[in-house]
Amino acid sequence: MKINLTKTSFIAGMLFMATAWAGSAVADEHSTYFKAEMGGAYNIPTIYTPAYGTLKTEVDPYGKYIYFKLYYENFATKVRQANIHFSSKFANGGANLFLCGGPKPACPEYSGYVEGKLYAEDIIGPAAQGIEPGDIKSVIKAMKKGLTYGNVHTEEYKAGEIRGQIMPVEKERKKRGAMGM
């Protein structure tokens, strides 16, 4: 039996790459560091905007708080609020908590940086989706499963102008230190 090594090697390589890619896209139940690259292209519906941002989060190993760093820029209208929502990347979901705006201090208007710690009392739900106010453990579990996204809302796009799914970044953290920075 004659075997075509080139074809066999190609197929083996493709299977390896597919497995590696699939494994890297799956949320890690043990992750404590997360990141979302935010842009209008990730919104539902998609929004054409030059604005972009990054949200990095670190979960306390005891599940008591979520530390976050949010950076964004290039908005044409004022930023009203930024928050974390509960949903897959293919749907819109209710807000879990505010990062700035709403009950938190005002967001930087057009470009800016916000950081802080979020505790159980900062969790607002969404109760209609099974997460009760104050239930930080469920929000952390949702983050670990890739079921949360960062969203920045502006005067022009009240439902959100930029968005990004919050995903684990364990490998990045190991290379660069805490928070992957």
**Looking at residue 155, which CATH number applies to its domain?**
2.60.40
Residue 1 domain-assigned (yes or no):
no
Q: State residue 2 phi and psi, 5-degree precision.
A: -95, 130
Tokens coding 82 = 């930024």
Residue 3 domain-assigned (yes or no):
no
pLDDT digits (tens, 9 = 90+) for 34-92: 999 999 999 999 999 999 999 999 999 999 999 999 999 999 999 999 999 999 999 99
Contact present, 134 and 120 (Cβ < 8 Å):
yes
Number of domains in the chain: 1
Residues 6 or more apart from 153 whose CB is under 8 A from it? 79, 80, 81, 82, 83, 101, 159, 160, 161
Residue 8 domain-assigned (yes or no):
no
3-class SS shares of the chain: helix, strand, coil, % to 5:
25, 35, 40
Query: Domain range spanning residue 133?
Result: 31-180
Residue 88 domain-assigned (yes or no):
yes
Rounded average pLDDT over 100-107: 97
Residue 5 domain-assigned (yes or no):
no
